[in-house]
Amino acid sequence: MKKLKNLTKQSEFYVFIIIVVLSIIIQARSGLFFANNNIVDTVRSMIVPSIYALCALLSFVSTGPDVSFPLIAALSTYLALITTNALGMGESMVIVFVFAIVYGSIMGALNGIIIVKYKFPSLIVTLGTSSIFSGILLGAFEAERMDLPAGLQRMGKASLLSVKNAETGLGSTLPMTFLILVALYVITYLVLNYTMVGRGVYAVGGDEVSAERAGFNVKKIRFGVFTANGAIAAIGGVCYAVMSMRYLPTEYAGGEMIVIAAIVLGGTRMAGGVGTLKGCILGTLLLTMVSNSLILIGISVYWQKVFIGAIIIIGTAVSALQSYGASRVKSKVKEAA
Amino acid sequence: MMAKIKKIDANILRLIMILIVFLIIACVTQPTNFMKADNFRSMAKQMTEYGLMALGVGVCMISGGIDLSCVYIANLSGITAGLMMQSMSTTSSGSGYILLSVLVAILVGAACGIFNGFLISYLRIPAMLATLGSYQLFMGISIVISNGSTVSGIPEGYTMWGTTLLAGIPFAFVVFLICIILLSLIMSKTRFGQKVYLVGTNAKAAKFAGIKNNSVLIRSYMISGILSAIAGLLSLARINSAKADFGSSYTMQTILIVVLGGVNPDGGFGSIPGIAIAVVILQLLSSYLNMFPNISNYYRDLIWGVALIAVLILNFVTNKRKQARLAKAS
């Protein structure tokens, strides 16, 4: 019973219920939601946003919003591709990822240095750096769409799972990048929950002063988070290129707001210190479902943004009121005692 | 209080100096192209739209929040006015219906702002998230009412305001100037303005001082909504059409201008004239770069990003020095 009570306190639980209800409605109206190809399609379109969601989660839990990950992804992928092409190492896909991670970490570290050293709001800093990265990518390099090296192309063509819907004849494949997603989540889960550094990420976001007194190095942890964010964003960027079979420099920007909305719906607290990977996945799933499946129940595409906006507002309002209510109860308890 | 006035003045002085230095550089390097009345006129028109939105974002940031939805409020208001004019231009004559459409559009903007303010004050959603959600909503509504296409066919009685000159100055710029003056007076001379600064500095203290925080916040966001609506109306007159996703890049630009103008992102500090000068500096910079055809437009992103972070660091260093001096003096 107590477990159930705890469950209803989490926003993840409500998101889960909304997802179930929505999927039943879509299934009832169209009969296509639980079709194998639709499920694989939904998972497929969740891969890149879920990777980005990790960046958003880490930065929110420890410091504040990070909006630079789409452009870090775009620029590091571009740099990795031209480096591998120049070195003639296009045969190996691992090399591209390694280069991208290195470049991404450097860009993330730049964010980290500015945020940690001057204690500026991370939103403003990352807005500034993403503008810089976009200037470098499209202005200095004049990046254009380009084909992938052989290694990545092979990766893009390979598939883990290929399904075909017997009724509609529509097929769908699950790309190899899904494995990368799973690996990233497992690693992040282990680091966040079973290492000192991981607990430090939560501690720093919860209360900076207490974390420092408890012996955590606040500056190092924040710097580390933003560097890691750069690396994760870079992996997401290469995955995006692999899945679209081509590098498209202008397609990256603009995804950040939806990702942030997804993780906040999943229960990540804006003020820091609270947020789970479970919530990341559920929030991303909900928004992916809304943008992919509204068509299935006959709602015109025009209404998509209205729905997404309404879901964000209602979801955040619920969690904001919840946390406000919790703080009021706490202060009442204090007064009584 | 004295120290605060001095601080704002120092910031404006610095901005004016940057402006003058920049003008001199522009005069020396591009005397024929840059120093032309035509060039200044087109700059005045261009800066009006994002300038108005930046003023709105500035008020919100002074109150301790942020408004990411201003571009989409502008588009929604522009589309509303455009659709009303389109449908009424066939049946009615005279200019009464144009005035009506303009009024309705401004009301739409005010309503959007009040909605934002309601989310932020009563529902306690962090300003960034609330406006993040509401911008999707406003954009969605714009797409729905315009069927996702561009609204055009605006009657000439309205679009002529896009080309009207008053004493050689574009009409839009005159509107911008009036808004700057009015808003400066509101923020510096009225009780409401003082309350906005107080709420931005310390919301809890403001509450205990007897200020109704919720109503102050709602009114700040309403101002931002109204200014965005005016921006939307002016852009409707200038480009003769309105679209749901027009000017998406302005969001970043408005925040940049506001920070450049000396507003503290944490709230409580900053001034309207500072923002206005920052608007002028940014427009001069981008028009100046346009004089060089071989410099790609995308370089602007790079320069703005660097400028934003450089200004932040500069403000940080000067503040620190000032604090050190004050500590020594005491």
How confident is the model over B111-135, as pLDDT tens digits? 999 999 998 888 888 888 888 888 8
**What are the backbone angles phi and psi of residue B324, rounded to the nearest 5°?**
-60, -40
Contact between A127 and B130 using a beta-carbon 8 Å cutoff: no
Checking if the pLDDT of A262 tops 80, the result is: yes
What span, in angstroms and rounded, lies between the C-alpha atoms of B34 and A309?
A: 43
Q: Copy the structure tokens of residue A219.
A: 């500056």
- pLDDT at position B110 is 93
Q: Is A254 an interface residue toward B (CB < 8 Å)?
A: yes
Among residues B29, B47, B15, B27, the alpha carbon closest in space to that of B253 is found at: B47
Tokens of B209: 């001082």
Pick among A111, A141, A302, A323 to test the B interface (most B CBs inside 10 A) = A302
Residue entry with tokens 């309705």: B104
Tokens 């992102």 belong to: B265
| Chain A residues close to B302, C-beta within 8 Å | 131-132, 134-136, 139-140
CA-based nearest distance B255→chain A, Å: 8
Please give the Cα distance from B215 to B219 (Å, whole number). 6
Radius of gyration of chain B (CA): 20
Does CATH place domain B2-26+50-318 in 3.40.50? no
Answer whether residue A31 shows pLDDT above 80.
Answer: no
Q: What percent of chain A has pLDDT over 90?
A: 27
Enumerate residues 6+ apart whose C-beta is below 8 A from A265.
A11, A15, A279, A282, A283, A286, A287, A311, A312, A315, A316, A319
Label residue B1 by pLDDT band (50, 70, 90). very low
CA distance B206 to B222: 20
* A144, B48, B194 from B53: Cα distances, Å: 32, 9, 21
pLDDT classification of A110: cutoffs 50, 70, 90: very high
Answer yes or no: do A118 and B134 touch at CB < 8 A: no
Instruction: Give the B window 62-121 contacts with A, CB below 8 Å.
Output: 66, 119
| Residues of chain B contacting residue A306, judged by C-beta atoms under 8 Å apart | 136-137, 140-141, 143-144
Give the residue among B28, B61, B34 at the shortest CA–CA distance from B278.
B61
User: How distant is the Cα of B167 from the closest Cα of chain A, in angstroms?
Assistant: 38
- Mean pLDDT, rounded, of chain B: 83
What CA–CA distance (Å, rounded) separates B54 from B67?
A: 10
Looking at the complex, does the CB of residue A310 fall below 8 Å from at least one CB of chain B?
Answer: yes
The span from the CA of B244 to the CA of B75, in Å, is 6
Q: Strand pairing of A171-175 and A159-164?
A: antiparallel
C-beta atoms of A128 and B133 within 8 A: no
User: Is residue B5 predicted with pLDDT exceeding 70?
Assistant: no
For residue B130, give the chain A residue with the closest CA: A313
C-alpha closest to that of A123 among A61, A64, A202: A64
- The Cα of B169 is separated from the nearest Cα of chain A by a number of Å equal to 32
Task: Please answer whether residues B134 and B228 qualify as being in contact, where contact means their C-beta atoms are separated by less than 8 angstroms.
Answer: no
- Alpha-carbon gap: A150 to the closest alpha carbon of chain B (Å): 30
For residue B41 the two structure tokens come to 């006129």
Q: DSSP label at B151? A: B
Quickly state the pLDDT bin for A74 (edges 50, 70, 90). Answer: very high
Average pLDDT of span B229-253: 83
Min Cα separation A159/chain B (Å): 34
Per-residue pLDDT at B231? 92
Contact B304/A at CB under 8 A: yes
B294 touches chain A (CB under 8 A): no
Closest-CA residue to A122 (of A184, A55, A75): A55
- What's the CA gap between A198 and B219, in Å, rounded? 42
The confidence score (pLDDT) of residue B8 equals 54
How far is residue A184 from each of residues A18, A236, B9, B218, measured CA to CA in Å? Answer: 26, 10, 51, 42
Q: How many Cα atoms within 13 Å fall on the side-chain side of residue B17? A: 6
Going by pLDDT thresholds of 50, 70 and 90, the confidence category of residue A275 is confident
The yes-or-no verdict on residue A249 having pLDDT over 90 is: no
- Show which of residues 170-229 on chain B sit within 8 Å of chain A, judged by CB atoms: none
What does the pLDDT look like over B266-296, one tens digit per residue?
778 888 888 998 888 888 888 887 777 766 6
Cβ–Cβ pairs < 8 A, chains A and B: 149
| d(CA B90, nearest CA chain A) in Å | 27
| Interface check A131 vs B, CB under 8 A | yes
Measured CA distances, A104 to B109, B196, B238, B250 (Å)? 40, 40, 41, 26
pLDDT at residue A157 in the model = 81
pLDDT at A331: 63
Q: Flag whether residue A35 sits within 8 Å of chain B, measured between CB atoms.
A: no
- Give B242's DSSP letter: B
CA distance A97 to B317: 39
- Pairwise CB contact (< 8 Å): A305 & B303: no
Nearest CB to B136 within list A124, A133, A305: A305
In terms of Cα–Cα distance, which of A274, A295, A275, A272 is closest to A283? Answer: A275
Tokens of A154: 């092979």
Question: Does the distance separating the beta carbons of B266 and A135 come in below 8 Å?
Answer: no
- Tokens 């498209």 label which residue? A248
If one compares B220 and B126, the residue with the highest pLDDT of the two is: B220
C-alpha to C-alpha distance for B289 and B108, rounded to whole angstroms: 36
**What's the one-letter identity of residue A15?**
V
Q: Between chains, do A320 and B124 touch, taking CB under 8 Å as contact? A: yes
SS3 A79: helix
DSSP category for residue A149: P
| pLDDT (mean) for A110-136 | 88
Residues in chain B closer than 8 A to A124 (CB atoms): 255, 259, 265, 308, 312
B140 touches chain A (CB under 8 A): yes
CB contact under 8 A, A316 and B133: yes
Minimal CA separation from B305 to chain A, in Å: 4
User: What would the two tokens of residue B193 be?
Assistant: 């303005």
pLDDT of residue B93: 66
Tell me how many helices (H) and strands (E) chain B has: 14, 2
Give the contacts of B136 (CB within 8 A, at least 6 positions apart): A257, A261, A305, A306, A308, A309, A312
Closest CA to A161 of A23, A36, A35: A36
Beta-carbon contacts of A321 under 8 Å, excluding residues fewer than 6 positions away, are B123, B124
Q: Do B139 and A309 touch (CB under 8 A)?
A: yes
**B148 interface with A at CB cutoff 8 Å:** yes
pLDDT the model gives residue B94: 66
Helix (H, G, I), strand (E, B) or coil at A12: helix
Question: Going by C-beta distance under 8 Å and a sequence separation of 6 or more, which residues neighbour residue B120?
Answer: B65, B126, B127, B130, B131, B217, B221
DSSP SS3 for B241? coil
Top residue of A67, A136, A312 to mutate, by most chain B CBs within 10 Å, is A312
B89-113: average pLDDT: 83
Q: Which uninterrupted H or E stretch holds B101?
A: helix B96-121
Q: Which residues of A touch B300 (CB under 8 A)?
A: 135, 139
Instruction: Decide: pTM greater than 0.90.
Output: no
Of the pLDDT bands very low, low, confident and very high (cuts 50, 70, 90), residue A107 is very high
Please say whether the beta carbons of A172 and A109 come within 8 A: no
Asked if residue B186 lies in contact with residue B63, where contact means CB atoms within 8 angstroms, the answer is no
| Average pLDDT rounded to a whole number, residues A51-69 | 90
Give the C-alpha separation, A122 to A111, whole Å.
8
Residue A105: pLDDT band (50, 70, 90) is very high
- The CATH number of domain A2-326, selected from 1.10.10, 2.60.120, 1.10.3470, 1.10.8: 1.10.3470
Compute CA A54 distance to the chain's CA centroid, rounded to the nearest angstrom: 4
More confident: B60 or B22: B60
CA–CA–CA angle B266, B268, B271 (5° rounding): 110
Q: What is the pLDDT of residue A327?
A: 66
B249 inside 8 A of chain A by CB:
no
* Tens-digit pLDDT profile for residues A284-334: 998 888 887 777 777 777 787 888 888 888 877 877 777 676 666 666 665
The two three-digit tokens of residue B149, written as one number: 């296409």
CB pair distance less than 8 Å for B302 and A302:
no
DSSP string, A164-204: E-TTT--EEEEETHHHHHHHHHHHHHHHHHHSHHHHHHHHH
The pLDDT mean for chain A works out to 84
Question: What pLDDT, on a 0 to 100 scale, did the predictor assign at position A252?
Answer: 81
Chain A interface includes B300 (CB < 8 A): yes
Residue A315: how many other CB atoms lie within 10 Å: 26
3-state helix, strand, coil in chain A (%, to 5): 75, 5, 20
Contact in structure between A176 and A158 (CB atoms under 8 Å): yes
Look at residue A8 in the predicted model and tell me its pLDDT. Answer: 65
Q: What residues of B are in contact with residue A321 (Cβ under 8 Å)? A: 123-124
